[in-house]
Amino acid sequence: MPQPSESQPPATADDSLFDLLVETLDNMEENVRAAFLQQFFKSMARIDLSHAQSLDYWKQILDRRKQLSDALGKRVPLKTAIVDVLASTTFLRVPILMEYEEFKKLQLNAATDALTGLYNRRLFDEYCDKEFNRAHRYGHHLALVLLDLHRLKELNDRHGHLQGDQILQLAASTLRKNLRASDFAFRIGGDEFALLLPQADPEQAAVLSDRLRTHFESETAPLKLGVPVTIDYGIAVHPQDGDAKESLLRVADKRLYEHKSVSRTRTAFSPHVTPAPHATETPRAEHKPDAPERNSSAAAAPKPTPEAPSTAGAPATAKMPQVVPIAEPKAPGQRRKWERISLAGTQAYAVFAGNEKKIANVIDLCTGGLALSVENGEELAASFFVVLHVPILPPLRVNLRKVYAQKVEGGRSRVGCAFVS
């Protein structure tokens, strides 16, 4: 995604001189001030103005400096406002007051959020209009994702706002690491963020949003906050969910609060009733089984052989088979009942219900069950629930029965599990 610029450099001696100039001009008679400003603009910017024009542009410059200072939350040098105002006219031919790159840097800083470095609400409104018009003109998809940090207020109350600011910065870093160069991320409120994903369909937006949630949780887990702050999101996609920007915002906001409701349930749930992240009746993209992973190679997901029945076509609400045992590892030459699909290298994983910080790698998958790689297989209960995140499937909550646990190289355990309907 496009990156905001670095922070503004410290004030210089020139800045102090310009500030002194402002104070001096305030105490002058209007006709004297007009004559001085006329000469000032001529010597400093090589432009000829009348007395009236000089006074008018000086007022615009002072107003512009105030606007920039309010936007940045800190005082902006006067020379920045001078160049900004004069650059918008046809008078300025040779901008000698500051370097062009420094000026562009300051312009960009005025459009970014000071804490996270993401684009701010003003730029969100501007880019939303521009990208929506582009998508409408060319018939492309445009995904709008609204996000917020669930339980951030509770974290602030318990650990203070400095800790909360760190979490907001981690969230912004997570967005930057996972977005394409053509995507845009914004901080639009206290704990609220927005994404604009040009040419992203519902499936791609859903996969990305779930990946952001998982990566954010992995970033915050080492902090041991005691308050599980998570990312909730709502997705709306043009043209399926609306032909106007306001429609997309309304749909995305509605789905965000539906997702928040699910999140609240997950914080104190019984393993027998917890839905998978996409189990609510929100965007249909979250229910499709063949959602492609953005920015990933299609070759990463192994293809099932004709002899190996696949669950890839099953919808997220489909029931898994009845309890079917997966036998202990076979002796050499002994044939397995089902051929396995290896998921090594696909980043397939399972999140344990009731403990979202506990994650296991999925080694392989077959019609009757799967194998997990965990730290200590003996500690697993005889039966448990997980949410599977596998490239060939949508996020899917399943009930597993442990069949065997075997120590493997590296001190970890391979745990064979059977699906339970």
Q: What is the pLDDT of residues 187-230, one digit of tens each?
A: 999 999 999 999 999 999 999 999 999 999 999 999 888 888 99
Does one domain contain both 213 and 129? yes
Does one domain contain both 168 and 253? yes
pLDDT at 197: 95
- CA terminus-to-terminus distance, the chain: 42
pLDDT at residue 174 greater than cutoff 90: yes
How many structural domains does the chain have? 3
Query: Is 5 among the domain residues?
Result: no
Does one domain contain both 151 and 196? yes
pLDDT at residue 266 greater than cutoff 90: no
Q: What is the mean pLDDT of residues 46-74?
A: 86
Lowest mean pLDDT among 13-27, 253-267, 376-390: 253-267
Does one domain contain both 99 and 129? no
Does one domain contain both 139 and 263? yes
pLDDT at residue 257 greater than cutoff 80: yes
* CA–CA dist 311, 318 (Å, integer): 10
Query: Is 303 among the domain residues?
Result: yes
Question: Can you point out the beta strands (E) in 276-315?
Answer: none
Q: Which two tokens stand for residue 342?
A: 């290896």
Query: Is 114 among the domain residues?
Result: no
Rounded (5°) CA angle 52-55-57: 105
Whether the model clears a pTM of 0.75, i.e. scores above it, the answer is no
CATH number at residue 394: 2.40.10.430
In the predicted model, what is the mean pLDDT of the chain? 76
pLDDT at residue 3 greater than cutoff 70: no
122-135 confidence digits (pLDDT tens): 889 889 989 999 99
Domain edge (last residue) among 232, 265, 287: 287
Does one domain contain both 279 and 148? yes
Query: Is 360 among the domain residues?
Result: yes
Query: Is 198 among the domain residues?
Result: yes
Does one domain contain both 79 and 126? no
Q: What is the mean pLDDT of residues 301-329?
A: 36
CATH number at residue 226: 3.30.70.270
Does one domain contain both 311 and 389? yes
Does one domain contain both 232 and 321? no
Does one domain contain both 173 and 262? yes
Domain edge (last residue) among 287, 316, 335: 287
Neighbours of 249 (CB within 10 A): 17
Query: Is 4 among the domain residues?
Result: no
Query: Is 128 among the domain residues?
Result: yes
Closest CA to 400 of 365, 375, 376: 365
Neighbours of 107 (CB within 10 A): 15
- Give residue 329's domain range: 298-420
Query: Is 146 among the domain residues?
Result: yes
pLDDT at residue 98 greater than cutoff 70: no
Does one domain contain both 281 and 324? no
Does one domain contain both 198 and 283? yes
CB neighbour list of residue 283: distance below 8 Å, 6 or more residues apart: 202, 205, 206, 235, 236, 237, 241, 255
